[in-house]
Amino acid sequence: MPLRNPDLDVDAQRLARWNAPDRRRQSFRNLHLIHRRGSSFRSPEVWPLALRPDPLPAVAPGLRRLTDQPAFCALTVAQADRIVFERYAEDFGPRRLHSIQSITKTFVHLAMGRLVADGLVDPGRPIGDYVPEAGSAYAAASVQQALDMDVCSNFSEDYAAPYTPCPAPGEPVGYARQEIAMGWRLPPEGEAEFGVRAFASGLVKLPRQGHGRETLYTSPNTDMLGWVIERASGRGLSEHVEAIVEAAGLEDAFHISVDCEGVPVLSGGGVMTPRDLVRYGLLIARSGAGLVGPTVGSAAFLADTLTGPGTRYSGPDNLRYRNHMLTNGRWVGHPGYAGQFLMIDPAKQAAAAFFSVLETPYGDREGYFQEIMTSLGIVLARLP
């Protein structure tokens, strides 16, 4: 009888075994070798980054504490065409690959921004106008709602949620089920594989509780928006990923998980080096204007991200989620599971890429992301 792949099987904590706390640090550096399927892209030209350190970031309050923690892997800060600060853990380096997790969602920000600017997508229209197969949770929701994480469904971003199929339509569906769709774990024995679009379109709409506009962080929103991008543009989603990689001028390969139907997993499947992540951040700061090909983003869309209402993100009152980005009105950025963060200051044409791996049971720790955001915000504020 064949044995199930141990990396992709599930442990007693309902985590894929590669994601167990004692294996997570190494797995994040090898996720492009662990996932079931993947694609890689190379840029024909590299965005030049000269190493010219600036003394100011190094003395930012709290930065030493952040980079001295056992979870720390890498911090790279760049402005325009120079690296102004970088620090790496002893077991890491500037060109070592690392999973960027949900930072991958920002590919939607660039691709959708371009389509909105070109008049191919109206954010106010229902998703069902672009994807008739969208299903209960998304058919009537607007594109803008999905961009702002403002869609209420039976999905739960819970890493410890049940792994088996939901017992009845409308019952809560946890993140463990999405990992099957992503190719990051095997389905329960006897169940067939399914892709990210089938998973998202199977979610059920629920009424929003309360009267506020709190962020309803839901990873399948990203996969549904990728479907909208493909339908509205008439181009495969992989073509958009390739165009963004080329525009960013990445030095090394960008790897991304693909599902069983060959769809890139924009909700969290990206893997790249810290220097390339900061190059990618600089591309966002330039509103998608890159080395090769047409602009892959939109200055107007980025400006709306900084100033638009969005949804209220947990933490300080000024944090909002808008156009698939987190923002406080000065910087834009995005977190990633277990300790990743990309922060961009468009006004200063600067970006900071942070990698770490929390080895707690479910990759979280109270106040950790707030500490990261505070430190990176101070670093970017000190740049000229």
| Residue 170 pLDDT | 73
Is it the case that residue 138 has pLDDT exceeding 60?
yes
What is the residue range of 42's domain? 17-123+235-381
The whole-model pTM stands at: 0.96
How much of the chain exceeds pLDDT 70, in percent?
98
What's residue 376's pLDDT?
Answer: 95
Mind giving me the DSSP string for 171-208?
Answer: S-EEHHHHHHHHTSSPPPTTPPP--HHHHHHT--B-PP
List the CATH number of the domain containing 313. 3.40.710.10
Q: What is the pLDDT of residues 98-125, one digit of tens each?
A: 999 999 999 999 999 999 999 999 999 9
pLDDT at residue 211, rounded to an integer: 64
- Average pLDDT rounded to a whole number, residues 326-330: 97
Please give the tally of structural domains in the chain: 1
Is 157 among the domain residues?
Answer: no
Q: Say yes or no to pLDDT of 260 above 90.
A: yes
Q: Is residue 5 part of a domain?
A: no
Is 324 part of a structural domain of the chain? yes
Predicted pLDDT of residue 209: 78
Q: What is the pLDDT of residue 92?
A: 98
Question: Looking at the domain assignment, is residue 305 inside a domain?
Answer: yes
- Write out pLDDT tens, residues 47-104: 999 999 887 777 777 888 899 999 999 999 999 999 999 999 999 999 999 999 999 9
Q: What is the pLDDT of residues 214-255, one digit of tens each?
A: 999 999 999 999 999 999 999 999 999 999 999 999 999 999
Over 80: is that where the pLDDT of 201 sits?
yes
Domain for residue 329, yes or no?
Answer: yes
Average per-residue pLDDT for the chain: 94
Here the contacts of 26-31 (C-beta below 8 Å, separation 24 or greater) are 27/99, 28/98, 28/99, 28/338, 28/357, 29/96, 29/97, 29/98, 29/99, 30/97, 31/99, 31/255, 31/257, 31/271
What is the pLDDT at residue 12?
67
Residues 36, 262 contacting (CB under 8 angstroms): no
pLDDT tier, 2 (very low <50, low <70, confident <90, very high otherwise): confident
Can you give the pLDDT at residue 165?
A: 79
Tell me if 222 is assigned to some domain.
no
- For residue 145, being part of any structural domain is answered with no
143 falls within a domain: no
